[in-house]
A and B are shown apart, each in its own frame.
Chain A
Amino acid sequence: MSIAVLLILAIAAFLAGMGGSYLGIGGGVFLIPFMTLVLSVNIKVAIATSLIGVIATSSGAASVYVRDHLTNLRLAMFLEVATTLGGIAGALVGLRVPELFLYFAFGVMVLYAAAAMARVRETAKERAYQAGPEPRLTERLKLSSVYFDREDQGVYRYRVQRPVAGFGVSAAAGLFSGLLGVGGGFIKVPAMNILMRVPMKAAVATSNFMIGVTAAASAFIYYSQGLVDPGLAAMVIIGVFSGTNLGTRLLEHSKASNVRFAFAIFLTAMGLAMLLSRLPGVSI
């Protein structure tokens, strides 16, 4: 690997870390195509390196969010049960469903989530605590929480709705991320924000907290097969971690509705890429 390649990778990793910490994703969806298409890295090595990057993003961003009381630790642990189970199931059972169907199904789902996020602006009023009963499971597991929004200096309590549906989607996310080697944040954030009615910033923070765990299991497998290139990994770790410093600050000072809208744009791009990438003749 030449120095130029390593430096370019570090810069790309910085952007991935910044974007990842802002959106609640690991940055794998940026880094893998970048490494394979621009730097001509072998796809398996790219996935391995990207998983390392996801862990670094998660550690860098989640640490800040946990300290600033954005993360919902209980919800994270509850959903992590789902994602780790899904990850193991995916690794063991293998892919029974044809890949084409998976990409199509997820592409559609992602686009639907993007539309849902773009349609409704997340205002303070919408984030406000909604009176009424919370689901029994939420109550028993004490999932509901509160977060402090630095942008408008507001303290927002929220109830976690539909925890069982959220659990199911997280299990699917774990399955999918095991196959692709991504953190799964692009599914987790909409699942929390749209499905479970968690405010956007809390959803981003909680997702960042979770993806490190999801990535660690897969990362070790790639590592033991010798697929991790230490030079690439080192650049990605340093770049990504530096990026999270900027990204977390951006998130905390942004309007929640802007974060949600940015995420909707990202999801649209992802959904389109997913649907189009499997068209015959297209290579992404």
Chain B
Amino acid sequence: MQRRVSALRRAVVAEVEDINRLIYHILRGGVVVSVAVLVFGFVLVAMTGRPIPERSIPPRSLGDQLYHFTPEGYLSLGVLILIFTPVVRVLLSLLSFVKEGDRMYVLMTLIVFVNLITSLFLLA
């Protein structure tokens, strides 16, 4: 019985460790990818010889800019990736609560996620 309990405890700790590690990588990965895209954007700036852009591109025009490899497009994309990193993290937390079957927290995380999406689209 004791062994079952400690085996269970180890399993739970391993699960929690897993999620924590995943969050660690997602959060840091988001920044790294964002910086990589920004660096690419700066390379494009150097290549086209235009001055460094001072404004971000609104989301609607972004696709077109990316397709044409403009520096503004990729610099804006880099910034966007960073902004969305916490959103991805919230999604990850949602999945982990779903997996744990914790309905109260699934609900809370959903509320936070909806709030995020709402403020994104409501005032954009």
B-binding residues in A (CB < 8 A)? 1, 52, 55-56, 58-60, 62-64, 66-67, 69, 73-74, 77-78, 80-81, 84-85, 87-88, 91-92, 140-141, 212-213, 215-221, 223-231, 233-234, 237-238, 241
Contact = CB atoms under 8 A, between A and B. Distances in A.
Nearest to A67: B24
A221 to B, nearest CB: 5
Contact of A223 (B23, B56, B89, B111): B56
A84 B52 contact: no
A161 to B, nearest CB: 19
B83 A66 contact: no
Given A84-B116, A229-B55, A234-B38, A140 B104 contact: yes
A180 B75 CA distance: 25
Given A73-B93, A228-B79, A234 B42 contact: yes
Contact of A87 (B21, B53, B119): B119
B28 A217 contact: no
Interface string B70-89: 00100110111011111101
Contacts of A241: 31, 35
A64 B24 contact: yes
A241 B25 CA distance: 14
B24 A224 contact: no
Contact of A66 (B20, B35, B105): B20
**Residue from the set A91, A223, A231 with the largest chain B CB neighbour count within 10 Å:** A223
A52 B108 contact: no
Contact of A230 (B20, B38, B105, B116): B38
Nearest to B77: A230
Interface string B54-72: 1111110000000000001
Given A226-B55, A226-B58, A230-B75, A217 B89 contact: no
Given A52-B83, A77-B97, A81-B115, 12 more contacts: A52-B82, A69-B20, A77-B109, A85-B111, A87-B115, A217-B119, A220-B120, A221-B120, A221-B123, A229-B56, A230-B75, A238-B35
Contact of A237 (B34, B56, B105): B34
Contact of B112 (A80, A91, A219, A231): A80
Nearest to A210: B86
Nearest to B53: A230
Nearest to B120: A220
Given A55-B85, A217-B120, A84 B112 contact: yes
Interface in B86-124: 86-87, 89-90, 93, 97, 104-105, 108-109, 111-112, 115-116, 118-120, 122-124
B119 A230 contact: no
The 10 closest A-B pairs by CB, nearest first: A230-B75, A84-B115, A63-B27, A212-B86, A228-B56, A217-B119, A67-B24, A224-B124, A226-B55, A59-B27
A216 B20 contact: no
Given A80-B112, A216-B116, A56 B31 contact: yes
19 contacts: A1-B54, A55-B85, A56-B31, A58-B27, A63-B28, A66-B23, A67-B23, A91-B123, A140-B104, A213-B112, A217-B116, A219-B83, A223-B56, A228-B76, A228-B79, A230-B53, A230-B72, A231-B52, A233-B38
